[in-house]
Structure 1
């Protein structure tokens, strides 16, 4: 009887351990390498610190849209419809972005070019698009950085080709029809690389202060009650004495982590916080695939990782 009871306990323990393992969060980093010519790269992690490239760090999707056919700054989210939706930078100078969707991150829909800034004749670029979903309105917001010639002259500079960005957006409920393009955020300085998360009853924007004179080149935060804003004045820098860009976030247990490219140092950095106010640098604790550039992180399931590992 004791042996049977012991065996039953072992079986139950094995079952619960297997179930816990299957439910364990797995983080997927979507990124690009080089100039984005070869397309989408993916890496995974179970602890958010050590990241392993999938498919021997070969591309999962070759870029096909725009004359330049690049796939820089990929942003993937899992939609309310269960699909993975991705947007990316297609070119350094085009007036639109790329879009595709997938059920499994392996087989993708036909790539589309979304001409989000086509009506702005003075638009010089559309960089680092991202998607955030608003559960209250059942709406997706796609947002990116653009410089429009002769706009916001009060922060214009001749440095870095005279780029002087602000954040713009469109909304959609189905990725078939889109709203008109509108200005999302003018913080009073040159701003790029916005990424927005839901926290509590509102939204938090991480952004790069792109000011060149005097140089900022750091990550800051702004807040809003609604996804479409208005967003608050940007706070103080949350990154250190280095140039940082391309922030992306994840929440592990009760701790927020923000990853970013220390692009002048050719390495990645990370900071973490439990309250989004006090930040600790954990750059020395992370390990990422060599050559990883600006991307985003999404959570996937164990069975989805298994399929990716088979590629």
Structure 2
């Protein structure tokens, strides 16, 4: 998220955005038995209701990423604000259970930044899975309700703590303490992510300096001087080390030496490369809007050895990836994830039968047929399995993943899937033989089967078709 949207002045200095990075829970038995072969990133994409959901991306080398599910969300929140940001993906020590924890926040969906800071949700949104592909319904975990003057709960992270045999869950809450109102990192312990111990202040910077984004990574024995290293957004990207998650931490420096400060980047996200002792610290270039930038190191404890990756060495995929987390995948996990979300539906254009130089396109979210469409992606769609079920198709936009053609008042629009049955019905169509030419195609409405998609004065709408003109207007060709 862009910090330019909201600032807390002296209270938060340069750190005011909701971004969380995620800490990978110690994989335990999964590490001992199954080598890691790939990487899974959970993230969100932006401020829209569709963008503030759970997205996934996959990489085989940790630097070049491919969007999963054709760039559309894989999970949607149906609780709280019905939006989520900053997902943290956690694996159990045995490798047999997973959780996604995220900020309960939907900017622009009835809530603005001032409300979110001072009277936001005190809960996190949680999903649970045993296989990374089948997820429970989400639930709310109230973490900040008992914090005196606690006003929100942002940027959740969790890491397995072998000293207490449970997870340390930590997040940012804006509250007044000792006369200073700002974001501080709080922590609590949990085994199930359904209840927590009493929240405690975990990280509090001096004076009015706030802190929002923190992520901890565990470092193997023999690398550096500390078992745990954390990176935090607190005006700088501050790096600290410790040999105990709940113990004392030592300041190891920041990234200003390589030209990166909290006014430029935020949302630190750790990743260890398979199988070597090298790490990437991904940072969101929020000030320039360029998305994630990997900083590489062979020793997270030594900030003097950090180096910015060459731009040609990494690629972040098609969607903009906002503050998320990366999980190293075993071969079995990778196979399940790619089997569920890895297949790619071809990109198509929809050509008009009776005005063959024109193609279906969206323009300012209205839908029409035009020639010479620019940008070309406005006329590109994926014919997905229908949102309403078997026997139907839905048209997903290529440059607005998660947005579909749907009728509203019989007018065709491009809108974000809101997860409702009404939207699914309005965005689903039966692909039938062309009404004007059976070698072409017509699209019959799922919930108004007497109506078909047709163009009228080049605008697309849903109409009954009763004459030759209508049959031509309602006939199309799906092209690559």
* Fold match (TM-score > 0.5): yes
Q: More deviation in 226-235 or 94-103?
A: 226-235
CA–CA distance in 1 between the matches of 2:46 and 2:249? 33
Separation (CA, whole Å) in 1 of partners of 2:79 and 2:241: 34
- Bigger drift between 170-179 and 97-106 goes to 170-179
Task: State the partner residue of 2:386.
Answer: none
Q: Is the 8 A contact 1:208 1:245 kept in 2?
A: yes
Q: Secondary structure at the match of 1:258?
A: strand
* Conserved? CA contact 2:144–2:151, under 8 Å: no
Instruction: Spell out the pairing of 1:278-289 with structure 2 (5 A cutoff).
Output: 278-282=305-309, 284=311, 285-289=313-317
- What is the SS of the residue equivalent to 2:212? strand
Among 196, 200, 224, which residue is 2:242 paired with? 224
Distance apart, 1:172 and its partner CA: 1.3
Matched, 1:195 2:215: yes
Greater relative CO, 1 or 2 (CA 8 Å, sep 6+) = 1
TM-superposition CA deviations, 1:173-196 (whole Å, max 9, x none): 233442111111113231111101
* Inter-CA distance 152–72: structure 2 relative to 1 (3 Å threshold): farther
**Cα pair 2:132 2:336 within 8 Å, conserved:** no
SS of 1:107 mapped into structure 2: coil
From 184, 191, 194, the counterpart of 2:202: 184
CA distance 1:24–1:194, shift in 2 (3 Å): closer
- Please report the TM-score for the alignment, with normalisation by the length of structure 1: 0.81
Cα pair 1:55 1:309 within 8 Å, conserved: no
* Mean CA deviation greater in 45-54 or 22-31: 22-31
SS in 2 for 1:288: coil
Match of 2:43 among 28, 31, 37: 31
Q: Does structure 2 conserve the Cα–Cα contact (< 8 Å) formed by 1:84 and 1:102?
A: yes
Quote how far apart the aligned CAs of 1:283 are.
5.3
TM-superposed CA distance for 1:106, in Å, is 2.1
Unaligned residue ranges in structure 2 (runs of 5+): 1-33, 106-115, 342-480
Q: Max radius of gyration: which structure?
A: 2
Q: Identify the residue that residue 76 of structure 1 maps to in structure 2.
A: 89
What residue is the counterpart of 1:205 in the other structure? 230
Contact 1:40 1:74 in 2 (8 A): yes
Among residues 192, 196, 202, which one is paired with 1:174 in the alignment?
192
CA distance in 1, matches of 2:37, 2:270: 15
Distance 1:56 1:27 in 2: 17
The 5 Å alignment of 1:43-62 reads 43-62=57-76
1:240 corresponds, among 230, 239, 259, to 259
Give the 3-state SS of the residue equivalent to 2:322 in structure 1. coil
For residue 301 of structure 1, what is the aligned residue in structure 2?
330
RMSD: 2.1
Alignment match, 2:299: 275
Confirm or deny that 1:102 pairs with 2:129: yes
Look up the SS of the partner of 1:187 in the other structure: coil
Which string of whole-angstrom CA distances, capped at 9 and with x for unpartnered residues, describes residues 188-243 of structure 1? Answer: 2311111011224632111001xxxxxx3x31111222112332346233562451
Structure 1 residues 193 and 49: CA distance shift in structure 2, 3 A: same
CA drift at 1:306: 2.9
Residue 134 (1) aligns with residue 161 (2): yes
